[in-house]
Copies of this chain bind each other. A is one copy, B any other.
């Protein structure tokens, strides 16, 4: 029996236990940490202006998620992006709600100058960041399907030099040339907060140990999709249980990869 394609990435994370420096939002910080721990990575949330830069320079990889901004968190994000870039640490940008809100759209464009390795968002966010007018979603929701953002994602990848990942019922990952499709998962992944945000964190974790951003983005998507499918197996009492099972399934996938 052939093993899943993502197993080498999972093994590398479990073995390397990379330090993943997360600048993320107050809604999903705990869930994100638990997702990373389930895979054997080592999450650390450092989001003050004084420490984010130096910490990014020693982390395995960095996640910058724009969910709940504040003046200080923005300063920390800039410092982390600069620090990561200058120390050649890969970092992931999750442009939450970009397009829907002007302030963070400007911030996201500024952060692009510091060369994220991966940009992960939903279709609205990616299309907005790519400059498609009228693509703005509302908050964290996308108004368009992920397939519609594949073209914009390719443009954004070419313009930014980053791999771009579009999340949806089907995930797409592109380096501007190749477009990889990751189906699977379950609609319930949208009924639990933080799954998309956690996906960005998993991309960062893999990126810390697998140098190829396209591979890292693809494997992270496939891992989350697989865990999301397993967690949905009936009987399922509801979304509370689903969130718990998602973490359990990630732990199982990590164990299966290493056994």
Contact status A37-B139, CB under 8 Å = no
Q: CA A31 – CA B194 in complex, angstroms? A: 11
> In the complex, which residue of chain B has the Cβ closest to the Cβ of A54?
B101
State the oligomeric state as a number of copies: 3
> Bound complex: CA of A36 vs CA of B34, how far in Å?
20
Q: Which of A44, A68, A240 has the most CB of B within 10 A?
A: A240
Q: A26-B26, A238-B251, A240-B245 are in contact. Are A68 and B97 (CB under 8 A)?
A: no
Enumerate A1-48 residues with CB–CB distance to B below 8 Å: 19, 21, 25-31, 33-34, 37-38, 42-48
Q: A191-B37, A193-B37 are in contact. Are A97 and B27 (CB under 8 A)?
A: no
Interface segment out of the listed A69-77, A110-118, A147-155: A69-77
Contacts of A226 in B (CB 8 A): none
Q: B240 contacts A243, CB within 8 Å?
A: yes
Tell whether, in the assembled complex, residue B139 and residue A103 are in contact, meaning their CB atoms are under 8 Å apart. Answer: no
Least CB distance from A38 to B in Å reads 5
Cβ distance A68 to chain B, nearest Cβ, rounded Å:
5
Q: Are A192 and B37 in contact (CB under 8 A)?
A: yes
Within the assembled complex, what's the spacing in Å between the Cα atoms of A55 and B68?
Answer: 13
Taking the complex as formed, is A51 at the interface, i.e. its CB lies under 8 A from any CB of chain B?
yes
Q: Is A249 an interface residue (CB 8 A)?
A: yes
Residue of B nearest to A76 (CB): B70
**Chain B contacts for A72, CB-based, 8 A:** 70-72
- Docked pose: A84 CA to B244 CA in angstroms: 35
